Amino acid sequence: MELTPSVSRSSLYIDDITDNGILNIGRGRLIPTTPWEGVWKGIAEWFGVESQNMGSVLPNLSNFASNIFDAADLFQSNLFR
């Protein structure tokens, strides 16, 4: 089975990483827009973690409401092509 990324680059990257960017707090530090759990939720789903067990695998997931990716957001299956 071949897996290919399906998230568009524009949804993952910020537009302005210059010193004047809104997420730049100086000295090369940027405020993140996607939580660690945002990507790992989709990976955990792909590995077969069921939704009722997701809180055990990613205990901080409930603290975030946006930029959370599902397996379908991250991977597309080319199994039947």
pTM to 2 decimal places: 0.64
Q: What is the pLDDT of residue 80?
A: 47
pLDDT tens column, 33-76: 889 899 999 999 999 999 999 999 999 999 988 889 999 888 87
Question: Does 19 have pLDDT greater than 50?
Answer: yes
Question: Which of the four pLDDT bands, split at 50, 70 and 90, describes residue 11?
Answer: low
Structural domain boundaries in the chain? 3-77
**How many other CB atoms are found less than 10 A from the CB of residue 46?**
15
Q: Are 69 and 38 in contact, with CB atoms under 8 Å apart?
A: yes
